[in-house]
Structure 1
């Protein structure tokens, strides 16, 4: 039975097509993937399904757009708000990308689930039942907990419980695992698949990650050039750019010569790669939590040489970000020996960080040019702006743009340009690519490797994606519960001598 059937859907914004005469269907009990690049319009489609598109901004038309549920038929082109309220309350739900944003930080998790239990008398009992269904433990504690007291995976399970509270027939999962490490990604996807089977509901997975779509879905739609293409996985790959297909032959790729030429002239280069830059000797960082000492890092020891590209991997809460903050001089509450060049303000001037969310790194009132000039003036470096933006793969015309006018990948390139403008010795990337589609990730990985190889800028690449780390880095540090679980040359990733935890990370990676 067709749960959702759409024929020749078109959505325009300011007379520009976002979706053009596309057809789409979901059967009852079917998991369907909608794959496309970041910014392609996938989320616009999900907002259409929920009736949340602003009709003053978007123009919608279709030959038919029908949702069939228990002998009830709903027209998705309806403009009656009461009909939409009933539809959203009874037939459709959504799991959002970032659970930290989806949850209200001032209300306990249990009460947030209860808000969606319409017409239920014993709300707490039903809430606990939902928590059990989504695989949460310590049910009473979770019921009374605020979102900030839970891990990323636990928060996403609470969001799924909220989505299931209304007993929907179609569950939309919009990038539901982007901010989670691979092991938690897999467990969340397995949970949704289990719920799909036990409840016999349809699931629409919207993702820029082809590997997740491949793992999860019965049917795939590729969203490209404003159209949906129904495909098997093998056919789906033909709709994609070659460099987008799971990092195929990634080590054989070459860098663009014009980027090398543009980078030349202002970066730190020609240094001895065997010379020690940093060393950690028994570094520990602890915090007081509920009157107990919690170790974010415990007895960390390794060294970094000039020109090294070191990957730091591990699950959520393993201490990756804390390690990056120590390197940047942002976390000074540590014990142990942190040995680095004792020049004036070395950590402040020569170690820079590129953050996960590029938008929060910018002043929204500054153009790209003003943002770059701010760094140049602060560090008193002599950098040509045109050459700088070209070096990170952007046209100088972007200098006049504001952050909201840039895509995610473009914003991250400007973030890298801001870092390069300070003439650094070390760049720390803290989950900087996790929210981007594979093609954009790959192009930025090439840029990072270009900077590292040609100009000996040391790179610390913090990520939960072992595939990106394996491609980019010459050494890999694996953190587990704040301690170094494994440390090895990247070429030895598949050695039988790897720790059990490293093997688990490899196993949970959907790319390898």
Structure 2
């Protein structure tokens, strides 16, 4: 008998159907994956099983748990969810209470389920030391917060764990650690898993059977190896091709001219100490020497907290070095020099938060043109139009606001804003980490085309080695604020020398199909 059985599930908001006629079953102890792009209905399906749909949602169809229909009574549903269904949400920082210590949050989960349990033992089971119980969420890393969420979900010894994108915001090594942890817990507890993700490699790593959702409907289902190895639906074929990073090859040739150079670049931050003694300074970036040639695409990889973003912020003038220097195009870098500033641009990791929601995207994209005060109105309009058309969008969209665009469109607009001053050097901070597979492939293909057309120089910050291998001429590996290894991706990822590079390569998930 199935543990969870979903029959003809439909979820609507008014006249709009977000999930339409979805049916599947999960057996006890089975690891089942639900894949698809944003808006396909994955999370809503999971919330329906857990009885957590928003009030505005109207549900039709049948959901049975262990042979019985889900209870209509909210108290009975909460009791079932608390005791037999564990839920791990996508973003642990927002799911955890920032004002409560870990001990109290796990203790609440134990009390609500009526289950006995030891908080220290739960933390140990998910790979944390019991001392972490005294910390607040902001005092933990992303991987540690995700482990706390898993510990809370395990508090009632559930029959099924529903994990919604549990690794999407994690670096490569932490992602592999969390996937290993989930697999180990499922085997040890004989617990079923419903794993929701748009990362096909993570799904292939964990799940024995999958269903592929598109626009609220299942287009394909079956054993994971069969679906990814020989997909039947065109949609699944596109997802698998995008996961393999099959990008069109566009020729570009770096020059011998060094565009960006650093010597002994260092950024220290003062850590909090105990009064009256100050804390010891932390070197987030520690004596970094690098040289990036004009027309080159350089990738900076490493675990979270190693100093990648701090280094990038100094290169574009958003942070000042504590020591060392930067040279741009052969001269000392002055962040207040408009002639240099207009040749540098940064594409932020999250395109939505990088736009002012109260400003039209046209105003936001035009803002960097203030670095060109001599430009007349006609030239401004021409620059704006050319930047938007270069990323494949229409100037007619410029009057809209950020919330009126999809994630892929917002990322294209962020790239257009970076291009509007016609810079020479672009820093791209995790430019595709928040995007669906097919959109990610489109944006990466766009970046390679723009580099060839405009002669751009890239510094790409990422923890996705497959993306790095597809786009980078050279890779820099960072650990604890230092560059510890560098080389061409084809050589570096095959024959890594430094222990950090070996750890990153070992954490890389295998290809799907």
Give the structure 2 partner of residue 372 of structure 1. 365
- Number of equivalences: 489
Gaps of 5+ in 2: 274-278
Give the structure 2 partner of residue 465 of structure 1. 464
Give the structure 1 partner of residue 276 of structure 2. none
Give the structure 2 partner of residue 288 of structure 1. 270
In 2 relative to 1, CA 429–79 (structure 1 residues): closer, same or farther, beyond 3 Å?
Answer: same
Deviations 1:271-290 (A, max 9, x none): 98322111111222222324
Quote the Cα distance in structure 2 between the aligned partners of 1:367 and 1:53. Answer: 32
Q: Please give the residue correspondences for 1:106-117 in structure 2 after superposition, counting only pairs within 5 Å.
A: 106-117=99-110
Moved over 6 A (4+): 119-123
Quote the Cα distance in structure 2 between the aligned partners of 1:99 and 1:28. Answer: 26
RMSD: 2.6
Give the structure 1 partner of residue 443 of structure 2. 444
In 2 relative to 1, CA 30–249 (structure 1 residues): closer, same or farther, beyond 3 Å?
Answer: closer
How far apart are residue 332 of structure 1 and its match? 0.8
How far apart are residue 440 of structure 1 and its match? 1.3
**398-407 or 436-445: bigger deviation:** 398-407
Give the structure 2 partner of residue 279 of structure 1. 261
Give the structure 2 partner of residue 129 of structure 1. 121
Q: Please give the residue correspondences for 1:63-142 in structure 2 after superposition, counting only pairs within 5 Å.
A: 64-68=62-66, 74-76=68-70, 78-118=71-111, 126-137=118-129, 139-140=130-131, 142=132
Quote the Cα distance in structure 1 between the aligned partners of 2:254 and 2:506. Answer: 37
Deviations 1:428-486 (A, max 9, x none): 11122112222111111111111222211211100011111111111110011211111
Give the structure 1 partner of residue 314 of structure 2. 326
> 1:315 and 2:303 equivalent?
yes
Quote the Cα distance in structure 2 between the aligned partners of 1:287 and 1:416. Answer: 30
8 Å CA contact 2:254, 2:296 repeated in 1: no
How far apart are residue 419 of structure 1 and its match? 1.4
Give the structure 1 partner of residue 239 of structure 2. 244
> 1:159 and 2:146 equivalent?
no
Quote the Cα distance in structure 2 between the aligned partners of 1:149 and 1:305. Answer: 39
Q: Please give the residue correspondences for 1:164-243 in structure 2 after superposition, counting only pairs within 5 Å.
A: 164-228=154-218, 229-233=220-224, 234-236=226-228, 237-239=231-233, 240=235, 242-243=237-238
How far apart are residue 193 of structure 1 and its match? 1.1
How far apart are residue 350 of structure 1 and its match? 2.5
8 Å CA contact 2:200, 2:243 repeated in 1: no
**314-323 or 11-20: bigger deviation:** 11-20
Give the structure 1 partner of residue 426 of structure 2. 427
8 Å CA contact 1:284, 1:299 repeated in 2: yes
8 Å CA contact 1:222, 1:231 repeated in 2: no
Q: Secondary structure at the match of 1:117?
A: helix
Give the structure 2 partner of residue 3 of structure 1. 3
Deviations 1:77-130 (A, max 9, x none): x5432222222222222111222222222221111111111268998x711111
**230-239 or 439-448: bigger deviation:** 230-239
8 Å CA contact 2:46, 2:162 repeated in 1: yes
**84-93 or 125-134: bigger deviation:** 84-93
Give the structure 2 partner of residue 267 of structure 1. none
8 Å CA contact 2:126, 2:147 repeated in 1: yes
In 2 relative to 1, CA 464–249 (structure 1 residues): closer, same or farther, beyond 3 Å?
Answer: closer
In 2 relative to 1, CA 470–120 (structure 1 residues): closer, same or farther, beyond 3 Å?
Answer: closer
Q: What's the TM-score, normalizing by structure 2?
A: 0.88
How far apart are residue 295 of structure 1 and its match? 1.9
Quote the Cα distance in structure 2 between the aligned partners of 1:135 and 1:109. Answer: 14
Quote the Cα distance in structure 2 between the aligned partners of 1:394 and 1:297. Answer: 37
Give the structure 1 partner of residue 507 of structure 2. 508
Gaps of 5+ in 1: 261-269
8 Å CA contact 2:267, 2:286 repeated in 1: yes
How far apart are residue 254 of structure 1 and its match? 5.4
Give the structure 2 partner of residue 264 of structure 1. none
Quote the Cα distance in structure 1 between the aligned partners of 2:191 and 2:390. Answer: 49
Q: Please give the residue correspondences for 1:34-49 in structure 2 after superposition, counting only pairs within 5 Å.
A: 34-49=34-49
Quote the Cα distance in structure 2 between the aligned partners of 1:252 and 1:19. Answer: 32
Quote the Cα distance in structure 2 between the aligned partners of 1:442 and 1:271. Answer: 22
8 Å CA contact 2:49, 2:63 repeated in 1: no
Quote the Cα distance in structure 2 between the aligned partners of 1:249 and 1:24. Answer: 27
Q: Please give the residue correspondences for 1:135-150 in structure 2 after superposition, counting only pairs within 5 Å.
A: 135-137=127-129, 139-140=130-131, 142-150=132-140
Quote the Cα distance in structure 2 between the aligned partners of 1:368 and 1:4. Answer: 45
Quote the Cα distance in structure 1 between the aligned partners of 2:121 and 2:254. Answer: 61
Quote the Cα distance in structure 2 between the aligned partners of 1:225 and 1:309. Answer: 36
Q: Secondary structure at the match of 2:459?
A: strand
